[in-house]
Amino acid sequence: MKRSPTTVFSEWAEEGRDEKMAKGHEAAVSNMLDGVLKKYNSYRFIDAGCGNGWVVRLVNAHKDCRSAIGVDGSKKMIEKAQRIDPEGTYHHADLMNWIPEKRVEIVHSMEVIYYLKNPSAFLENVYNSWLTMGGILILGLDFYKENTVSHSWPEDCGVSIMHLFSEKHWIELFCKAGFKEVESNRFGVKENWSGTLILKGQK
């Protein structure tokens, strides 16, 4: 029987698979951050679906970062993040319902939003209630229609919610949520791998 994404990822955290996952995402995330952090000389940052919080700690170390917050629906991932970084700010919450106390300039999310019940409603929520005017949302996704090698993941990982959308559909959802200057590109394309789909939009 398939289980909820956060149940599966809590198990990953207990088994230490979060660290291997972070390593696997490192190059794409570094590319994503390079593109957005330099646009601001002072910014607040949220990592939506932060896992063990590795991106929050990375960004918090930047001189121009005023605050970096991590949110994840897996209790074990958040406990791990807090154990590694007791001073850090990590929230255990479902991204479908959570709203930050203060709006931020940058929302980042790596390999998360296709696990949400309603990715379209989440994008609208980020646009309406998370971002400052001019703020940026940047997402990285490995599970998408054009990356055919990823199609077996829901079965392989036994995860109940995984929305398989095309690049074009993701762009449409960004536009529908209100984002402007919507851009997409693929990072790390190689044989039998269409790359990480990176999507960016501005409020």
Which residues are at the interface with ligand SAM (CB under 6 A)? Answer: 5-6, 9, 21-22, 25, 49-51, 72-74, 77, 94-96, 110-112, 115-116
- If the CB atoms of residues 73 and 201 are measured against ligand SAM, the closer one turns out to be 73
CB of residue 180 vs ligand SAM: minimum separation in angstroms? 25
CB of residue 15 vs ligand SAM: minimum separation in angstroms? 13
Closest CA to 137 of 110, 97, 163, 100: 110
CB of residue 80 vs ligand SAM: minimum separation in angstroms? 10
Residue 140 CA, distance from chain mean position: 7
Specify the 3-state DSSP secondary structure of 67. strand
CB of residue 130 vs ligand SAM: minimum separation in angstroms? 14
DSSP, residue by residue, 97-160: T---SS-EEEEEEES-GGGSS-HHHHHHHIIIIIEEEEEEEEEEES-STT-GGGTTHHHHHTBS
- If the CB atoms of residues 46 and 136 are measured against ligand SAM, the closer one turns out to be 46
- If the CB atoms of residues 41 and 141 are measured against ligand SAM, the closer one turns out to be 141
- If the CB atoms of residues 160 and 191 are measured against ligand SAM, the closer one turns out to be 160
- If the CB atoms of residues 134 and 139 are measured against ligand SAM, the closer one turns out to be 139
User: Nearest 10 degrees: CA dihedral of 198, 170, 110, 162?
Assistant: -140
Backbone angles phi, psi at 105, to 5 degrees: -85, -30
CA distance 50 to 21: 12
CB of residue 42 vs ligand SAM: minimum separation in angstroms? 24
- Letter for the amino acid at 110? M
- If the CB atoms of residues 101 and 191 are measured against ligand SAM, the closer one turns out to be 101
Closest CA to 115 of 79, 68, 77, 64: 77
CB of residue 118 vs ligand SAM: minimum separation in angstroms? 10
